[in-house]
């Protein structure tokens, strides 16, 4: 946001003073696997075009939090509002709402029996109801955006990990989601392939995508994140700008964690 | 030696029996055309019901599969053909065989599909659902195509069993290959028609068995 025309954010509702409307609003979210409480009251809001970056030790509930956002996991309590609609409502139209929430997985999860292009067109055809030709055009544009227009006819096993992950991003992107969730998108990649994926993500951020990212790529967070959230044992310990969290963490737990990952 | 050939490989008798045996073969082919697709389809429904979100349905399917894998197909067939008339339900031999095979094969094919579905990592379903595909759509376009490919040898192997089992239909006097050959035997007092039937089964199934071995080797199970 450059603020050159006016200082009023464009999505500000009539009651001035509220922050820009949240695309994703998580309130008092609780989730347990049996007796194991994994999320213990999470409040988190991701504003339009914002990139919120989540860090935290293994098992702290980061993946579970993301998976609750499109209800791959069922929360026990709390609400999640996506683009003005409560996805946690019992009668929420999940298949419709999920189109507005892209998800990128650590293990890519491309469909191995389909070409890159067919991976992207499947939901466009079957869910978004696009014609074959429309879907193809959208898919090619999406693949182009992740730098893979020349790989549209390749099968996943003919692509490198980094290329597969970019196809997976294109698959989500093609549905024009309002927010994209990334769960350790580069953790399964060889180091030399990480950069390509991060570049695509940076590019999306600059293009105005709203993003919630779980990752260990602190340098990327420094450059691209608006907010960094530190989670531990199912709660948000602290949250702030990358500069503040990385350079001036308030909590001992945050300092301990950052000290560990630095080495 | 000559006596042996006369009894088992009597060309004259085989030639005489050929029209009967040929009609039997055609009936066997017809039976396969009815019974194999029915079983493949029934099995698919069984496997999909197995993944359904409703517990009562999954439970029903488990009971169904257990029952029909435990009951000998011959017992099932005779019950349907000769037992059900006591309840006023009279079926033609062909219908009785089709129903017995549908019940039995759906259980077996169903278990094969289920193994295939379980061989697909849950990330596939999650990725599909996360793009808004319904559970059924994800099953149809993402899971099943991969699952079927993974269990193709088992599906084929079971299909070979089914073809062989169609000879059971002879006990309810359906004039398929075995029944016709046996009829020719009883008329000619000679085993050659039975040998001919055996050779026909062999000629049909041997290439399939060969293909199956190659498929299994290629898939490196
Ligand atoms: N399907 C499940 N069933 C039972 N427990 C689970 C399940 N999935 C996750 N958990 C547990 O929930 C806790 C939080 O897991 P989660 O995957 O959300 O952590 P995470 O922060 O993403 O960790 P990591 O950095 O290792 O990915 C862990 O203790 C984990 O063992
Ligand atoms: Mg995780």
The arithmetic mean of pLDDT across residues B18-22, rounded, is: 94
Higher model confidence: residue A1 or residue A85?
A: A85
Within 8 A by CB and 6+ apart from B126, the residues are A72, A105, A109
Find out whether A83 and A93 touch, Cβ atoms under 8 Å: no
Within 8 A by CB and 6+ apart from B45, the residues are B106, B110
Give the model confidence (pLDDT) of A110-140 as tens digits: 999 999 999 999 999 999 999 999 999 999 9
List the residue whose alpha carbon is closest to atom 9 of ligand 1. A64
Higher model confidence: residue A33 or residue B3?
A: A33
Query: Which of A95, A102, A107 is facing B123, going by the closest CB pair?
Result: A107
**A16 has a pLDDT exceeding 60:** no
Structure token digits, residue A48: 């339009």
Confidence grade of residue A18 (pLDDT, cut at 50, 70, 90): very low
How remote is the CA of residue A63 from the centroid of ligand 2, in Å?
4
Confidence grade of residue A9 (pLDDT, cut at 50, 70, 90): very low
Give the model confidence (pLDDT) of B146-177 as tens digits: 999 999 999 999 999 999 999 999 999 999 99
The span from the CA of A82 to the CA of A86, in Å, is: 6
The span from the CA of A199 to the CA of A165, in Å, is: 12
**For residue A6, what pLDDT is reported?**
41
The arithmetic mean of pLDDT across residues B71-78, rounded, is: 96
Between the ranges A89-93, B8-12, B123-127, where is the mean pLDDT highest? B123-127
**For residue A263, what pLDDT is reported?**
58
Confidence grade of residue A60 (pLDDT, cut at 50, 70, 90): very high
With residues binned 3-state (H G I as helix, E B as strand, rest as coil), the percentages for chain B, rounded to 5, are 85, 0, 15
Confidence grade of residue A222 (pLDDT, cut at 50, 70, 90): very high
Could you give the C-alpha distances from B214 to A173, B155, B202, B204, in angstroms and in order?
Answer: 42, 14, 18, 17
Q: The CATH number of B2-220 is which of 3.30.1180.20, 3.30.300.30, 3.40.225.10, 1.10.3720.10?
A: 1.10.3720.10
Residues linked to residue A255 through DSSP beta bridges, in sequence order: none
Is any Cβ of chain A less than 8 angstroms from the Cβ of B208? no
Give the model confidence (pLDDT) of A149-194 as tens digits: 999 999 999 999 999 999 999 999 999 999 999 999 999 999 999 9
Residue A181: closest C-alpha in chain B: B130
CA A199 to chain centre: 15
Give the model confidence (pLDDT) of A204-218 as tens digits: 999 999 999 999 999
Of all residues in chain A, the percent with pLDDT exceeding 70 is 92
Give the model confidence (pLDDT) of B86-106 as tens digits: 999 999 999 999 999 999 999
Domain ranges (residues) in chain B: 2-220
**A11 has a pLDDT exceeding 60:** no
Find out whether B100 and B80 touch, Cβ atoms under 8 Å: yes
Residue located via tokens 């709390």: A78
On the CB side of A177, CA atoms within 13 Å amount to 31
Residue located via tokens 């001992």: A252
Residues of B in Cβ contact (< 8 Å) with A109: 121, 123-124, 126-127
**For residue A10, what pLDDT is reported?**
44
> Smallest Cα–Cα separation from A201: which of A187, A188, A190, A212?
A212
DSSP A19: P
């Amino acid at each position: 946001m450059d603020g050159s025309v006016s200082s009023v954010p464009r999505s500000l509702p009539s009651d001035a003073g509220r922050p820009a409307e949240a695309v994703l609003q998580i309130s008092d979210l609780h989730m347990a696997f049996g007796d194991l409480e994994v999320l213990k009251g999470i409040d988190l809001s991701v504003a339009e075009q914002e990139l919120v970056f989540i860090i935290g030790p293994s098992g702290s509930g980061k993946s579970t939090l993301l998976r609750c956002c499109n209800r791959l996991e069922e929360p026990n309590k709390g609400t999640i509002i996506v683009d003005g609609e409560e996805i946690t409502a019992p009668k929420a139209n999940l298949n419709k709402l999920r189109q507005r929430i892209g998800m990128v997985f650590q293990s890519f999860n491309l469909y191995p029996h389909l070409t890159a292009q067919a991976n992207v067109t499947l939901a466009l055809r079957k869910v978004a109801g696009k014609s074959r030709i429309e879907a193809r055009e959208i898919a090619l544009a999406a693949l182009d955006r992740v730098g893979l227009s020349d790989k549209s006819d390749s099968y996943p096993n003919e692509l490198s990990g980094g290329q597969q992950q970019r196809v997976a991003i294109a698959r989500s992107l093609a549905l024009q989601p309002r927010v994209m969730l990334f769960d350790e998108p580069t953790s399964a990649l060889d180091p030399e392939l990480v950069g390509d994926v991060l570049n695509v993500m940076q590019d999306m951020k600059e293009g105005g995508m709203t993003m919630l990212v779980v990752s260990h790529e602190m340098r990327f967070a420094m450059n691209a994140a608006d907010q960094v959230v530190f989670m531990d044992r199912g709660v948000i310990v602290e949250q702030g700008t990358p500069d503040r969290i990385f350079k001036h963490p308030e909590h001992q737990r945050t300092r301990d964690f950052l000290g560990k990952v630095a080495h | 030696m000559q006596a042996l050939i006369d009894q088992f490989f009597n060309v004259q008798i085989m030639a005489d029996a050929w029209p009967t045996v040929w009609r039997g073969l055609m009936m066997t082919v017809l039976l396969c055309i009815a019974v194999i697709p029915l079983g493949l389809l029934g099995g698919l429904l069984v496997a999909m019901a197995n993944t359904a979100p409703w517990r009562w349905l999954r439970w029903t399917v488990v009971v169904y599969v257990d029952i029909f894998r435990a009951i000998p197909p011959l017992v099932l067939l005779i019950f349907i053909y000769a037992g059900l008339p006591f309840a006023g339900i009279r079926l033609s031999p062909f219908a009785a065989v089709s129903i017995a095979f549908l019940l039995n094969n759906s259980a077996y094919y169903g278990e094969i599909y289920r193994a295939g579905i379980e061989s697909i990592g849950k990330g596939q379903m999650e990725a599909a659902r996360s793009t808004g595909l319904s559970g059924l759509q994800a099953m149809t376009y993402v899971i099943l195509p991969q699952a079927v490919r993974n269990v193709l040898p088992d599906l084929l192997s079971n299909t070979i069993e089914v073809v062989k089992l169609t000879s059971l239909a002879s006990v309810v006097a359906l004039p398929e290959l075995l029944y016709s050959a046996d009829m020719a035997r009883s008329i000619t007092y000679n085993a050659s028609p039975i040998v001919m039937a055996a050779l026909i089964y062999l000629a049909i199934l041997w290439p399939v068995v060969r293909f199956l071995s190659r498929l299994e080797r290629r898939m490196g199970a």
